[in-house]
Copies of this chain bind each other. A is one copy, B any other.
């Protein structure tokens, strides 16, 4: 059964999922990279960027799980590019090089239509300009019966949550304060959406929270 999931999604202790002023050198916004310290330390992440080493253990298990069983991905355009407005840089094909870590159809929400981009390793970027429901239907249709992951960023996750379309969340709360940025929970009522804390795992680098309905 296809589940709609959010997984490996990092937030700060003060509830921000990204810093302010996203840019080419600060893809997660200013001071945002600390959010992913738990992930960057893992063996999974090391492998993903072609490096040796990295930590095994709970964080690594969650990191692996966060990309497993996903047949399609949905992300907001700001997760794909620092550019805003009309597409001007036709060479930009995401932050991830020729072989992105998705290895599956990946749907990018945007107000500006664009032709799909087929990457190496099974990732194809589709640009969806007719809304989150349309993106979800297309993602489900191409997910091969596996899960559809709402990859981010904060605004995209919030939109799918507010529409009641998310079945399960794994949040990784990093032991950092950002002070400003994109707020995760403002006007998102987790209990009213029917979620309960199903599991909680704690490491030096994160508190992992599993929310299920």
Q: Name A's B-contacting residues (CB within 8 A).
A: 13-15, 31, 173, 175-180, 183-186, 188-192, 195, 197, 200, 202, 207, 209, 211
Contacts of A186 in B (CB 8 A): 183, 186
| Residue in contact with A31 in the complex, picked from B177, B191, B195, CB distance below 8 Å | B191
User: Once the chains bind, are B173 and A13 in contact (CB under 8 Å)?
Assistant: yes
Contacts of A211 in B (CB 8 A): 177
In the assembly, what is the distance between CA of A209 and CA of B180, in Å? Answer: 19
Complex copy number for this chain: 2
Given contacts A177-B211, A183-B186, 18 further A-B contacts (CB under 8 A): A13-B173, A13-B197, A14-B184, A14-B185, A14-B188, A15-B185, A31-B191, A175-B200, A177-B185, A177-B191, A177-B195, A177-B197, A179-B188, A179-B190, A179-B192, A180-B189, A202-B202, A202-B207
User: Once the chains bind, are B190 and A177 in contact (CB under 8 Å)?
Assistant: yes
A178 CB, min distance to chain B CBs, angstroms: 7
A200 CB, min distance to chain B CBs, angstroms: 5
Closest to A184 in B: B14
User: Once the chains bind, are A209 and B13 in contact (CB under 8 Å)?
Assistant: yes
User: Once the chains bind, are B14 and A190 in contact (CB under 8 Å)?
Assistant: yes
A selection of 23 A-B contacts at a CB cut-off of 8 Å is: A13-B173, A13-B197, A13-B209, A14-B15, A14-B184, A14-B185, A14-B190, A15-B15, A31-B191, A175-B197, A175-B209, A176-B197, A177-B190, A177-B195, A177-B211, A179-B188, A179-B190, A179-B192, A180-B192, A183-B186, A186-B186, A202-B207, A207-B207
Contacts of A31 in B (CB 8 A): 191
| Residue in contact with A191 in the complex, picked from B175, B179, B197, CB distance below 8 Å | B179
In the assembly, what is the distance between CA of A191 and CA of B178, in Å? Answer: 7
A160 CB, min distance to chain B CBs, angstroms: 17
User: Once the chains bind, are B189 and A179 in contact (CB under 8 Å)?
Assistant: yes
